[in-house]
């Protein structure tokens, strides 16, 4: 059966991107962030490719993501950072799978200790401090208490503090003074940890943007995510081309119908698009159920018939329409929503601009109805 649509994943491009990120932070280890199904690109395949290119850690948000990697026989160290702190069973599963876990509170630490006690295995943790992001991480007021309890658990050999980490709020704005402030707070937090005998092997701060633009944030390990997949982490950092990275995903669909419409004919729900001349339209069998943003209605760029056009009218659940004018398009032709841009096709960042969002959302929202087709093996 011919796929109606596909997301082609270029693993060679991914490996090249990892190499470029290594070059940007040559003194640091590299953790490739593969959460959210590797930003929609395929968790297991992309993880293997990243490791083959030199990533020494993999980063996930959820416990099930880490377990899926272990079930795929991936033995690379994994850090998971978004756990249900009430679930000892979840902790036990991760400890037994040799997955390292982020801890931001005394409550979370207690669950790690309970899991270590149940399994007879030391729990390997990374302590996270909130240096100004206002999201996950121990507040500065709670940090010393978390450190003291952690130091006691280390002495009892129930846990090992592998890392201490934080997250930057303005990494995509490297000149923002809050970046410098957060790094100062992080140094203070590290000093507090050392004063209590906690000396982690890994201190890590930098995401994709900071990997490229803030060397003082590299510490022992960097944690690039979106740049691994060839997309820019922000306008303040540079375009993909400027950074030397290449988009990994190409999302396309096949034309399933071409028909003529007269001038003045409305297209799709609400007739938000009306033809201005006698024209032809092409129907593509993908919509917001597949990840095409509704905000792409009338503005989403599509490469079809050897030229770039935009969606005509409202994006539907399973289909969109493109006004192709007099272009020679036939059923079965491929229409490219986004790719690396080599042939003039839009990029995911172009789609983000059109839909008033970010490239992260464009690629991660491509749904499970769209098969991933991998090229560039050797993982």
Distance CA 203, CA 153 (A): 20
β-sheet with 279-284: strand ranges across: 257-261, 279-284, 320-325
In 211-352, at which residue ranges do the beta strands (DSSP E only) sit? 221-222, 249-254, 257-261, 266-267, 273-274, 279-284, 301-304, 307-310, 320-325, 334-338
pLDDT of residue 378: 57
**Pairing status of strand 307-310 against strand 301-304:** antiparallel
- Please list the active-site residues: 35, 269
- As a whole number of angstroms, the distance between CA 29 and CA 26 comes to 8
CATH topology of domain 249-375: Lyase, Ornithine Decarboxylase; Chain A, domain 1 (2.40.37)
Q: Residue 1's pLDDT is what?
A: 56
CA distances from 342 to 111, 192, 304 (A): 50, 50, 14
Type and span of the H or E element at 204: strand 202-204
Alpha carbon separation from 146 to 140, 190, 193, 370 (Å, rounded): 10, 13, 10, 44
Number of other residues whose CB lies within 10 A of the CB of residue 113: 21
The answer to whether 275 and 264 are in contact (CB under 8 A) is yes
Is the Cβ–Cβ distance between 76 and 100 less than 8 Å?
no
> What pLDDT score does 306 carry?
86
Q: Where are the domains of the chain?
A: 11-232, 249-375
In this chain, the answer to whether the domains covering 11-232 and 249-375 adopt an identical fold is: no
CATH architecture of the domain 11-232 equals: Alpha-Beta Barrel (3.20)
Helix axes 106-119, 88-96, angle to 10 degrees: 60
210 with 166: CB under 8 angstroms?
no
Residues 6+ apart with CB under 8 A from 75: none
Residues 169 and 25: their CA atoms lie apart, in Å, by 20
Q: What is the pLDDT along the chain (379 residues), one digit of tens a residue?
A: 568 999 999 999 999 999 999 999 999 999 999 999 999 999 999 999 999 999 999 999 999 999 999 999 999 999 999 987 777 888 999 999 999 999 999 999 999 999 999 999 999 999 999 999 999 999 999 999 999 999 999 999 999 999 999 999 999 999 999 999 999 999 999 999 999 999 999 999 999 999 999 999 999 999 999 999 999 999 899 999 999 999 999 999 999 999 999 999 999 999 999 999 999 999 999 999 999 999 999 999 999 988 999 999 999 999 999 999 999 999 999 999 999 999 999 999 999 999 999 999 999 999 999 999 999 975 4
Q: What is the pLDDT at residue 379?
A: 45
């Amino acid at each position: 059966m011919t796929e109606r649509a596909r997301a082609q994943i270029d693993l060679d491009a991914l490996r090249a991107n990892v190499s470029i990120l290594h070059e940007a932070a040559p003194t640091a280890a590299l953790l490739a962030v593969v959460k959210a199904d590797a930003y929609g690109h395929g968790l297991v395949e992309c993880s293997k490719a990243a490791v083959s290119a030199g990533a020494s850690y993999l980063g996930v948000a959820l416990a099930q993501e880490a377990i899926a990697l272990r079930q795929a026989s991936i033995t690379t160290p994994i850090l998971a950072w978004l756990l249900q702190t009430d679930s000892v069973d979840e902790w036990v599963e991760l400890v037994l799978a040799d997955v390292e876990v982020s801890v931001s509170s005394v409550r979370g630490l207690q669950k790690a200790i309970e899991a270590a006690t149940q399994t007879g295995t030391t729990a390997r943790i990374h302590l996270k401090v909130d240096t100004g992001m206002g999201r996950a991480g121990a507040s500065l007021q709670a940090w010393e208490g978390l450190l003291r309890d952690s130091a006691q658990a280390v002495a009892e050999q129930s846990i090992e503090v592998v890392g201490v980490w934080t997250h930057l709020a303005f990494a995509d704005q490297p000149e923002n003074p809050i970046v410098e402030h957060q790094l100062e707070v992080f140094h203070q937090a590290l000093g507090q940890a050392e004063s209590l005998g906690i000396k982690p092997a890994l201190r890590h701060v930098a995401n994709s943007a900071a990997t490229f633009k803030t060397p003082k944030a590299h510490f022992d390990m960097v944690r690039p995510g979106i740049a691994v997949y060839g997309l820019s982490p922000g306008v303040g950092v540079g375009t993909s081309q400027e950074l030397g990275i290449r988009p990994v995903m190409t999302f396309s669909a096949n034309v399933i119908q071409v028909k003529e419409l007269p001038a003045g004919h409305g297209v799709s729900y609400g007739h938000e698009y009306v033809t201005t001349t006698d024209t032809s339209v092409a129907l593509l069998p993908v919509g917001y159920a597949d990840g095409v943003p509704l905000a792409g209605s009338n503005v989403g760029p599509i490469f079809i018939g050897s030229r770039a056009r935009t969606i005509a009218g409202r994006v539907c659940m399973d289909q969109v329409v493109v006004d192709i004018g007099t272009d020679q398009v036939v059923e079965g032709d491929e229409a490219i929503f986004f790719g690396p841009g080599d042939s003039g096709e839009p990029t995911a960042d172009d789609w983000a601009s059109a839909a008033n969002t970010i490239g992260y959302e464009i690629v991660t929202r491509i749904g499970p109805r769209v098969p991933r087709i991998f090229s560039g093996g050797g993982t």
